Each structure stands twice: as C-alpha cells, then as structure tokens.
Structure 1
Amino acid sequence: MGDAALTRALALHCMQVTGGFQIGVDDNLPRPDGSLLLISPSEPMFWPHFSQSSEYMDKAPDPLDRWSRRIGDKLARDFGAVALYPFGGPPYQPFYTWALRTGRAWASPTGFLVHDMGGLFISYRMALQVPWQSNVSKSARPCESCAKPCATACPVDAFASGYNGAACKAHLHSPTGQDCMTKGCAARRACPVGQGNRLAAQAAFHMEDFL
C-alpha cells in the first residue's frame, strides 16, 4: 500500500489528496508516525458522483457527512489508516491548521482558505493518517501574483473588517442574494484559481447547508 494505490482508490469516489505532511511524535495524533493526508473532492466530477449516492438520495439529514464517513472508514480499513473528519464535534479536528501546514493552502484576503488548485472553493471531506511516508509536496501561494478580486467581490462587503456573518446571511435571505445562493459565494467565485470547477448545483447545496 502507498500513494499510488490510495490515489487509485480515491479516484473511484471522485476524491483526491490535496495536501499532507509527515507526522511527528509531538502532533498528538492517533498514529505517532506516517503521514496525514487531506482529502478533497475532485471537481467538477465529484458532484455527479455524490448526487447518485444512497446518502444523497435518501433525503435524510447530513448526506455529505454520512457519505464521507462511509467512504473514509472503508479507506481507513483498506489502507491500515485512521480516518479523521471535519464534522462530528465538538471538539473538532484542526483542519484549518492542518491545511496551512501542508504548504498548499493559505489564508486568503477574505480569511478563508485558498488552495493552489481548488482556490477559495477548497474543502476537506476527511483526513487519513496513513502508515507510510507520503510523497507530499508544497507550492507557491497564488495570492502573491493575484489582483485579489475576492476582497471586493462580496455584494454586501462582508469581508471589509474580518467576516460579517450576519450581513452575509441577511443578504442570502434577500431577493438580491439569490445569485450567491444558486451559484455560490461571490467572493469565492471571484478567485481565479480553479474558477468554474464547482458546479452550480453543488454550490447551491453548500449554500443551503450554510444557512
């Protein structure tokens, strides 16, 4: 078992490794060694795949979380790994901190994570602590050479000073907020990295969940 086999297994579920780091004894993780790999959807292929799942079709609450746990737990068994999730708390796992540590995600001008491939639409469905030294890599922060359109794209200027969640949600509940509700957050869509990879139906699903 190793990186290549895991990549193939993830591809069956339209998922991919989007960062990782080597685990040290001071990390206070279930495994004292190996690597922690962050797992994300492969977009735009992911949504058509997930929307045919039993979890999505049964109309019960939290379909994406239930799907993620089913897939993640099986991957953990198959690869001798430990699966960790960004839901199910409190306490919650420090996915934001882990993402920064990978060297492939950074704080954007909005404060949201920006990823070298996923842009502002990066999301992590699980982390896998695998028992091998993964061939993880780092990349350059895309914001350094960017005009930063995300900082001014919000129709209600919710990122002018930190993040004004109340203004954001009030806008989404209003008639003028339907563009964000059906296509996704305008600030996230403004990021040129990975632009257009997230399908409108997937964005609408996440916006409904956010509200």
Structure 2
Amino acid sequence: MIGGYHPVSEALVRYGLIVRGGFNFVDDEDVPLGPSGVSAKSALLIGQAGAAPWPHFQRWLGQQARDIANPLDTWSREVIGAFAQEFGARAVSPSDRPYLPFQQWAMRAEGLKPSPLGVLMHPTYGLWHAYRGALLFEDEISLAQAHKATHICDTCVAKPCLKSCPVDAYSADGFAHRACLAHVRGADGAPCRAGGCLDRNACPYGAAYRYPADVQAFHMAAFAGV
C-alpha cells in the first residue's frame, strides 16, 4: 500500500511539476501494466499548473547537442521516467502509442470537464495547465476520492473563447482543424504565432497561470509546424 503521494510531490517540485491527482483502477476496466508487467493498481497523474516547468525545460534544452523533434515530450519522458525508477513505478506519456485515455484519467483524478475548446477547465488554473505523464504502481494508493469540481464553463454566459478566433476555429460543430492551421500559417496568423490561440487567451479564468507569450509561441509552432 502506498500511503499517499507526498514524497512524489516533493520530488517533482524541483522540475516545476506537480501531482495532478490519482486513482485506483477497478477490476472491470482495461488496466495498463505496471513496472514488472502485471496489471497496475493505481495511477498518479503528473503535470503542471501555469508555465512552472518552462525554465527547467529550457535549461535542459540548452544542454542538448542536437535538434530534437519533440523536445518537450522528450524532456517530460526523461524526468518522469527517472521518478518512476525512484518510486518503483512505470512511467507513461500522453503521446505513447497505443494511446492511453489520459483525458478520461484526468477527469477521473480531478473531477474536471472539457471546455468548449476541448482543454479541461480547472477551477483555479483555468485553461493554463497540462498533463505530462503518469506513474503506474502495482500497489493501491491511499487517497481520498476526487470530488467533482465546479465547471466554470457552465456558468459562463459570454463564452469569449468562442468569439475571438478570426476563422471561428471552435464552434458547436467542433474544431475546424484545417481552417485553424491555414490561418496560423498564413499572413494574418502572426498574432497567433507570436502569442498563442486567441480563443484560449480570451478566457478570463486562471489568468494568474496564463502561459507567457514565448511559451505559447513554442506550443503554437509545434502545433502548426512553423
């Protein structure tokens, strides 16, 4: 039995990462494997609030001798993988294939729901948070069941997140991926390339955790391939 996750939380701080909640698997679900190859019994989600990991990632990136195709994923795997070894767990990533249900795990661990943009809305962090990986254990974690968080989007009448994009990339019909890419890559997409998604930035919640412009530009460049 793992008595909570405070040692993991304390270890993650030096990389700007935090535990984003955890849960125990139940017998009737498709359970991933733990470090020894038997079914895991519990999961701790690892992620960030705001851009706290950015300086740690930038320091690491500056020490790399070659270009890396997906540097943030690589850094996250390296850091979380080291903690997996330290705490006797298996590290998994949202980009692992076959894909693991990270969004469902996140909603389960923290009681969150998606915003109109698809990003999970957090009552404190707003849209400015992320999940970088998870630790899978072969013992149960002793922790309280996650309470369903207040979903801010349900009480937001103005919905500025659906009114700021010049090409209406987000709507009730879903995400217009091609229209978004064409705009970001085009002459009129400079504001998006420099400062991130206009719809996401229009959301007033979690402003204290908003990613700085250079961080948003990094993510936009990775998304749009520019």
Q: TM-score when scaled to structure 1?
A: 0.88
Q: How far did 1:6 drift?
A: 0.8
Deviation digits for residues 23-75 of structure 1, max 9, x if unmatched? 22233222446432221124232212211114774432211111111111111
- Does the residue aligned with 2:216 lie in a helix, a strand or coil? helix
Q: Which amino acid aligns with 1:61?
A: A
1:84–1:65 distance in 2 versus 1, CA, 3 Å:
same
Q: Which amino acid aligns with 1:134?
A: L
Structure (1 or 2) with the larger CA radius of gyration: 2
Q: Which amino acid aligns with 2:146?
A: S
More deviation in 124-133 or 76-85?
Answer: 124-133
Is 1:201 the equivalent of 2:214?
yes
Q: Which runs of 5+ in 2 are unaligned?
A: none
Q: How far did 1:156 drift?
A: 1.0
Give the 5 Å matches for 1:39-54.
Answer: 39-54=46-61
The whole-number CA distance in structure 2 between the counterparts of 1:119 and 1:205 is: 20
Is 1:178 the equivalent of 2:182?
no
RMSD in angstroms over aligned alpha carbons? 2.2
8 Å CA contact retained: 2:165, 2:198: yes
Is 1:21 the equivalent of 2:41?
no
The whole-number CA distance in structure 2 between the counterparts of 1:40 and 1:56 is: 23
Deviation digits for residues 87-117 of structure 1, max 9, x if unmatched? 132x111112222222432121233322233
Equivalent in the alignment of 2:150: 140
The whole-number CA distance in structure 1 between the counterparts of 2:71 and 2:142 is: 32
More deviation in 140-149 or 112-121?
Answer: 112-121
| Aligned counterpart in structure 2 of residue 159 of structure 1, from 170, 190, 212 | 170
Q: How many residue pairs end up in the alignment?
A: 210
1:67–1:196 distance in 2 versus 1, CA, 3 Å:
same
Is 1:71 the equivalent of 2:101?
no
Identity of aligned residues (%): 36
More deviation in 25-34 or 166-175?
Answer: 25-34
8 Å CA contact retained: 1:86, 1:92: yes
Q: How far did 1:120 drift?
A: 2.3
- Does the residue aligned with 2:28 lie in a helix, a strand or coil? helix
Is 1:80 the equivalent of 2:62?
no
